[in-house]
A and B are shown apart, each in its own frame.
Chain A
Amino acid sequence: METIQSDVVIIGAGGAGLRAAIALAEADPSLRIALLSKVYPMRSHTCAAEGGAAGVIKGDDSLDLHFGDTVGGGDWLCDQDAVEFFINEAPKELTQLEHWGCPWSREKDGAVGVRPFGGMKMKRTWFAADKTGFHLLHTLFQTSLKYESIRRFDEVFTTDLLVSDGRVQGCCAIEMRTGEMLQFQAPAVIICSGGAGRIFPFTTNGAIKTGDGMALAYRAGVPLKDMEFVQYHPTGLPGTGILLTEGCRGEGGVLRNKDDYRYLQDYGMGPETPLGETVLKTMELGPRDRLSQAFWHEDKAGNTIPTKWGNCVYLDMRHLGEEKINERLPFVRELAKSYVGVDMVTDMVPIRPVVHYMMGGIHTDINAATPMPGLFAAGECACVSINGANRLGSNSLTELLVFGRRAAESAIAYLNGAQKPAVDTAAADRQAAEAEGRIHALFDRKDGGETIAGIRDAMADSMESGAGIYRSEELLKDTTATLADLRKRQTGIALKDKSKVFNTELTQTLELSCMLDVAQAVAVSAFERKESRGSHQRLDHTERDDTTYLKHSMAQYRGEDAPAIDYLDVVITKSQPGVRDYSGAKS
C-alpha cells in the first residue's frame, strides 16, 4: 500500500475543500497539502448551486439585519456566536472571490449586484446569473491550480479515517483508476465532503451526495448534530428533482394551485403581493420550510395538480417577460424547457418540493473543529450551526468560503500548537491494513440475494414516508425499524464486479453503507425531537418547545445499534427566541 505523507489532508474538493486548500497554501507555502476527491473537483456538487451567496455590502443593509434574518430563519437553533462570525466574514470572502475572477453579475457602474432571496429582509445575495455555484466552484478550482503545494488526488475514494490515541492521523482511500488502497498520513484532516440528499428519493442533490464524510466522522466517534433538519426546496422540477432556483421567486415568480390561486396567503405569508412586485420575506419570498409545508397542506386539501410525476403546483413566471427571464434566469428557462417541456415565458411550470440540503452534519465548533483533535470539517457535511433548523437560501455558498478558510486556519493553529502533533505511523499502518482487509472482504461476500438498488430504494422510500416534510412518532417508528433492518440486509449484497479498475459497484456499496448510517441518524434524531421547529415538523407535536428543545441533537454512533441522542445547548448571545413572522404586516 502506498503511503502519502502530508501535513493536512482535505477530504472533498467542492467549494469548501478548495477554499480550505487555497487558504492553507497561501498561509504557508511549505505545507504539504493532499486534496482528495472522489470525483474531479469541478464535478463536485457545488457546481449545481444556482441562486447566489449572501453577504452584506450595500449601504442600506447591515450585519445586524443579516444576523436577524439568519437566526430567525433558523428558528433560533443557530449558534449565535458562529452566525456573527460568519456574517462578519461573508463580505470579505465574497470580495476575495471577486478578486480571484468570479464573474459576479454587475450593476451599471461596475459594482457587484445583489438580488433578493427567500427569508432575507434585504437584497444581499451576490449572484453570477443563475449559475453562482458553478462559477464559484470553477473560480476556486482554477485558482487552486496556481499553487504547487496543493497535491490533488482526483477520483480517490476515502473509506476510513485513521484514528489513534484519540487523535486523527490521516485516512485511507481507494484510487479508483487502479483500485489500489492509498494511505494518507497527516496530523490534521479536514472533511469537506458535502451533503447527503441522496438518502431521499426525490432530491436536487447529485449522485455523489451520499454523506460519506459524515459517516466517516460519525463512525470514528464524532457526533452528528441536528440531523433531523432536512431542507425541502419548494420549487423542484417533478420527475428529475432538478432545482429551479429561489432566484425565480426573487425575480418575481409566484406560486399557484390548481385554481390559479396564490395559496401562500393562506399560510401566514400574506397578504398577497401585486404581480411582479416582490416584498421581501413575505409570500413567495417566505422561507423554504414554510413554503414546502404549505404545499403539503394544499396537497392534502386536494388543491394540487396531478401529473405523471406526482402532484404539483405551478410556478408562474409569465408576467416577467422574455427579456428579463433571458437576462436573469436563462439556465432555469433552459432546464424547464428540456426536462418538463415547458417554456416559462409562455406557460406555468409544474413544480413540487424536493429534498435539498442537510442543515445537520458533523459537529463542529465556531473554529470548524470537531471534538476529535486534528479533525476539522466545513461545508455542507459540517454543522457549525449557522443554519439552525432551517437554512436561508444563499447562506450556504458563503458558508463554504468562510468556514473552509476557517478550517484551514484552525488546522494550521493545531499543527503549530503546543503538542506538535505527530503521526503514530505504526498504528496508522495497522489500521490501514485493516481497512484494506475490510474492502477485500467485500469481494468475498456471499450472495444474500440483495442488490444495491433494492436496498437504496427501500431506504429512500422509507425516508420520504417517515422523515419527510411532516413527521410523526408512528411514521418514524416504521422508518427507524426499516433502516435498522436495511443496515443488516446490506451484508447480503455480493459484488458481481471483481475487477479493481474503476469499480463503481464497489464504491456504490460503500456509499450505500454511509447513506444508511446517515439516514438512521436523521430518523432517530427526528424521532427524539418531540416538537416542531423550522424544517422539522411533527404532526403529533405541532408547537415549538423552547424549554425542552432549544438544543442541538447529537447523534452518537453505536455500531450496529441505533445511535444514542444527546443534547447540547444552543449558544445565544443577543437574540432571544421569538416568533418567525413572514406576514407582510410587520417589517
Chain B
Amino acid sequence: MSRKPYVREVPKATWYMRNGRYLRYMAREVTCIFLALYMAGLTIGLVRLMQGPDKWETYLAGVSSTPAVIFHLIAFGFACYHAKSWFDVTPKAMRIPQGNDFVPGRIIVGTHYGIWGGVSLVALVLMGVL
C-alpha cells in the first residue's frame, strides 16, 4: 500500500485567525461575555436595591464612574452586534409557510428589526415620561 494521506492539523486555539468569516463569528460569540457581565452587574444592583437606599446610592455612584461608563459603552456595542447577528439569521431557523412558498427571509428579518426598534423606543419613551 503506497497510501499515506497527509493530515493538515487545524490550530486548536488560533484557527479563527484564518479568515474574516471566522473572526466575525468569534466576535458574535464573545458578545455573550458582555451580556453576562452586564446581567451580573444588574443583579448586584438588584441586591443593592434590596439592601436599602444607602447601598443603592453607592451602587449608582459606581455605575456613573468613568470605567463603568466605558464598560457599558463597549457592552452596548456588543449587545447591538448580538441583536443584529441574531436577527439576521432568524429566517434560517424559522420557515413560515405562505401559499406554496415561504415568507421571504427579509420580511422575517425586517419584522424582528421592527420589534426591536419598537421595544427600544417604548422603553426610552417610558423612561423619559416616568
Q: Which of B1-20 contact A (CB under 8 A)?
A: 1-3
| A179 neighbours in B (Cβ, 8 Å) | 2
User: Other CB < 8 Å A-B pairs besides A177-B3, A499-B2, A501-B3, 7 of them?
Assistant: A178-B1, A178-B2, A178-B3, A179-B2, A180-B1, A500-B2, A501-B2
What are 10 A-B pairs at a CB distance below 8 A? Answer: A177-B3, A178-B1, A178-B2, A178-B3, A179-B2, A180-B1, A499-B2, A500-B2, A501-B2, A501-B3
| A500 neighbours in B (Cβ, 8 Å) | 2
B4 to chain A, nearest CB (A): 8
B7 to chain A, nearest CB (A): 15
| B2 neighbours in A (Cβ, 8 Å) | 178-179, 499-501
The 5 closest A-B pairs by CB, nearest first: A500-B2, A501-B2, A178-B3, A178-B1, A177-B3
**Chain B, Cβ-Cβ closest to A501:** B2
**Chain B, Cβ-Cβ closest to A180:** B1
Main secondary structure of the interface of B (DSSP, over half): loop
A178 to B3, CA, bound (A): 6
A499 to B2, CA, bound (A): 9
| A499 neighbours in B (Cβ, 8 Å) | 2
Q: Per-position contact with A for B1-42: 1 when CB-CB < 8 Å, else 0?
A: 111000000000000000000000000000000000000000
A105 to B2, CA, bound (A): 47
B125 to chain A, nearest CB (A): 44
**Chain B, Cβ-Cβ closest to A500:** B2
A interface bracket (residues with beta carbon within 8 Å of B): under 10
| B1 neighbours in A (Cβ, 8 Å) | 178, 180
A439 to B1, CA, bound (A): 17
**Chain A, Cβ-Cβ closest to B1:** A178
Q: Which of B47-103 contact A (CB under 8 A)?
A: none
**Chain A, Cβ-Cβ closest to B4:** A501
A314 to chain B, nearest CB (A): 32
A178 to B1, CA, bound (A): 6
A580 to B3, CA, bound (A): 57
A538 to B68, CA, bound (A): 90
A501 to B1, CA, bound (A): 9
A178 to B2, CA, bound (A): 6
A501 to B2, CA, bound (A): 7
B22 to chain A, nearest CB (A): 28
Q: Per-position contact with B for A487-500: 1 when CB-CB < 8 Å, else 0?
A: 00000000000011
B55 to chain A, nearest CB (A): 64
B6 to chain A, nearest CB (A): 11
A165 to B2, CA, bound (A): 36
Q: Per-position contact with B for A161-182: 1 when CB-CB < 8 Å, else 0?
A: 0000000000000000111100
A402 to B2, CA, bound (A): 41
| A501 neighbours in B (Cβ, 8 Å) | 2-3
**Chain A, Cβ-Cβ closest to B2:** A500
A180 to B1, CA, bound (A): 8
| B3 neighbours in A (Cβ, 8 Å) | 177-178, 501
| A178 neighbours in B (Cβ, 8 Å) | 1-3
A175 to chain B, nearest CB (A): 10
**Chain B, Cβ-Cβ closest to A177:** B3
A329 to B17, CA, bound (A): 41
| A180 neighbours in B (Cβ, 8 Å) | 1
A179 to B3, CA, bound (A): 9
| A177 neighbours in B (Cβ, 8 Å) | 3
**Chain B, Cβ-Cβ closest to A502:** B3
B3 to chain A, nearest CB (A): 6
A499 to B4, CA, bound (A): 13
B40 to chain A, nearest CB (A): 49
A484 to B101, CA, bound (A): 58
A180 to B3, CA, bound (A): 10
A575 to B3, CA, bound (A): 58
B100 to chain A, nearest CB (A): 9
B101 to chain A, nearest CB (A): 11
A180 to B2, CA, bound (A): 9
B23 to chain A, nearest CB (A): 30
A500 to B2, CA, bound (A): 7
B115 to chain A, nearest CB (A): 31
A439 to chain B, nearest CB (A): 15
Q: Which of A236-280 contact B (CB under 8 A)?
A: none
A179 to B1, CA, bound (A): 8
A177 to B2, CA, bound (A): 9
B99 to chain A, nearest CB (A): 12
A327 to chain B, nearest CB (A): 10
B107 to chain A, nearest CB (A): 19
Q: Which of A346-389 contact B (CB under 8 A)?
A: none
Q: Which of A149-194 contact B (CB under 8 A)?
A: 177-180
A384 to B73, CA, bound (A): 77
A177 to B1, CA, bound (A): 9
A501 to B5, CA, bound (A): 10
Q: Per-position contact with A for B104-128: 1 when CB-CB < 8 Å, else 0?
A: 0000000000000000000000000
**Chain B, Cβ-Cβ closest to A108:** B100
A324 to chain B, nearest CB (A): 15
A177 to B3, CA, bound (A): 7
